[in-house]
Amino acid sequence: MDYSCKCKKYLTTNLIYEVIYVRGDILKDQRGVISYLPLLALAGIGLSIYLLISGLAPFKEALFNTLYPKQSSEAATRQTITFDTLRKNRELKGQYPAGLIDWGQGIWFVNAPWGRFKTNNLIFDNNIKGGSFTFLQPRRLVSLEAFNGGGSRTTTIKVSCPGQPDASVEVRAERTATLYTNWNAPCSPVTIYSGNGWNTSFDNLVIDDASSGTVAPTPIPTPTPRQTLSPTPTPIKISPIPTPTPLPNATPTPTPSTNTGSIWKPALVTSWQWQLSTPVDTSLNVQMYDIDLFDNSSSVVQTLHNKGIKVICYISAGTYEDWRPDANQFPASILGKSNGWPGEKWLDVRQWNVLGPIMEARMDKCKQMGFDGIEPDNIDGYSNSTGFSITYQDQLNYNRNLAAAAHARGLSVALKNDVEQVPDLWQNFDWALNEECFDYNECGNYSDYFINNGKAVFQVEYNRNYCSQANALNFNGLVKDLDLTAKRTACR
């Protein structure tokens, strides 16, 4: 309420009353009616001013509330904890956010986008089934989202905290669910449990200081289950691949070289090494090396060739890396959000007319240095939070352009990850390289489309041994460390 307006209203009303009914009577008696007409006119002006002020008051109040909105206590205290600014595939330990939560050590792991979670998420480390975190300030866990990637198993998610009742929710395989605690007070530590262990991931932890009361669950629509493929389709019938719809100002898809017989295509069983650190250990007796383009010289490639080894050229085709020698070739208009690694940002792959020449120049360098093939990394941006509205079809167009550009230079090319698009892309690529499909329960597409069509699959798990499963599917499996040093354990 504007108290100044209320005061003006009171004074103006009494002034008019006094002029008309008191002063008017005195003057009428002494001088007659005409003598007080000027005072009546003055009273009319006063009344008009009062009405104007009264009429504008609501507009004044509305304008004030727009410029200086009231802040609700709920908005001021509630926040959502995500993990998108953290480096993926790393242990989460210590404080995050600083001064708010302590995650301990050896319990939590920052996971890359997985399944229905299209951004970084949190899983249990070391295949444990439960873990705790501690609030450093009085806070309450309001809700969290969970994704169950546990194959065919339904899992129960349970959270507990001293002084509050346990809360739980069941999550079917390949589904997400939101767990609401309905706790009424801050408490710590919070313990989260899942029967599927690290096959369950968590994201979007909503916390507050309990000043806004409990939160009732909001019905969550049941997601449409992802279509699964028959384990061993016989035979495989693939519909013709539609011609990609070009984007405005985009250059046409490069025409691959007609002399594809010279392009190296690895056998189903091919021994290999993947080392992106330097210097490269060239002493291994394997058939293929996959190494970084910019961090190696042509002499390394030649050394391996002298031993009869094929050499693959690693480039990031979907992210900008600020330390690369051609970093100044990337205009700001195609740089998106960080992908979780320092110095890296997602690229707008819809703009082939801008990115194509940069990637083709890199492929030309690979060819000049004597490489036999290309491993283009980060080509699944459409399923991540890139900062751009990249569609499934946009990603198909870009990846097919990359494959065609490699083939036009006589280079073999790998489909790196991009698991969900394997059915649409396997014909464009010569082999596949995957990270952690066993850990994420998503290896089926590689077996169905690459292996069953005579194309090799090179597969890596980090610090976890799934060699028996890899061998059963005829994958060329390795167990590697996250930094991709020379250290390796070959599955066969």
The 288-292 sheet, strands edge to edge: 272-274, 288-292, 310-316, 373-377, 412-416, 431-435, 457-462, 476-480, 489-490
Q: Is the pLDDT of residue 12 over 70?
A: no
DSSP-derived secondary structure letter, 309: -
DSSP-derived secondary structure letter, 22: I
Q: Is the pLDDT of residue 314 over 60?
A: yes
Over the stretch 354-399, which tens digit does the pLDDT of each residue have?
A: 999 999 999 999 999 999 999 999 999 999 999 999 999 999 999 9
Q: Please tell me the least confidently modeled range out of 108-122, 142-156, 435-449.
A: 142-156
> In this predicted structure, what is the pLDDT of residue 50?
55
Over the stretch 328-353, which tens digit does the pLDDT of each residue have?
A: 999 999 999 998 888 999 999 999 99
Quickly state the pLDDT bin for 135 (edges 50, 70, 90): very high
Quickly state the pLDDT bin for 249 (edges 50, 70, 90): very low
Tell me what the mean pLDDT of segment 29-56 comes to. 53
The residues pairing with 207 across neighbouring beta strands, listed in sequence order, are 79, 141
Q: Is the pLDDT of residue 444 over 80?
A: yes
Tell me what the mean pLDDT of segment 298-325 comes to. 98
Please, is 400 exposed, middle or buried when counting C-beta atoms within 10 Å of its C-beta (0-12, 13-18, 19+)? buried
Per the model's pLDDT, the better-predicted residue between 349 and 262 turns out to be 349
**Residue closest to 395 by CA, chosen among 413, 414, 421:** 421
> In this predicted structure, what is the pLDDT of residue 42?
63
> In this predicted structure, what is the pLDDT of residue 1?
41
Provide the angle, in degrees to the nearest 10, between the axes of the packed helices 352-369 and 298-306: 50
Q: Which element (helix H / strand E) includes 458?
A: strand 457-462
Share of the chain above pLDDT 90, in %: 59
Using DSSP, state whether 258 is helix, strand or coil: coil
Distance CA 300, CA 130 (A): 46
Tell me what the mean pLDDT of segment 414-436 comes to. 97
> In this predicted structure, what is the pLDDT of residue 396?
97
Q: Is the pLDDT of residue 242 over 70?
A: no
Quickly state the pLDDT bin for 486 (edges 50, 70, 90): very high
Whole-number Cα distances in Å, 91 to 80, 113, 131, 338, 490: 20, 15, 13, 19, 25
> In this predicted structure, what is the pLDDT of residue 212?
58
Q: Is the pLDDT of residue 436 over 50?
A: yes
Q: Is the pLDDT of residue 126 over 90?
A: no
Q: Is the pLDDT of residue 88 over 90?
A: no
Tell me what the mean pLDDT of segment 414-426 comes to. 96
Per the model's pLDDT, the better-predicted residue between 399 and 156 turns out to be 399
- Please say whether the beta carbons of 402 and 427 come within 8 A: no
Q: Is the pLDDT of residue 303 over 50?
A: yes
Distance CA 302, CA 170 (A): 56
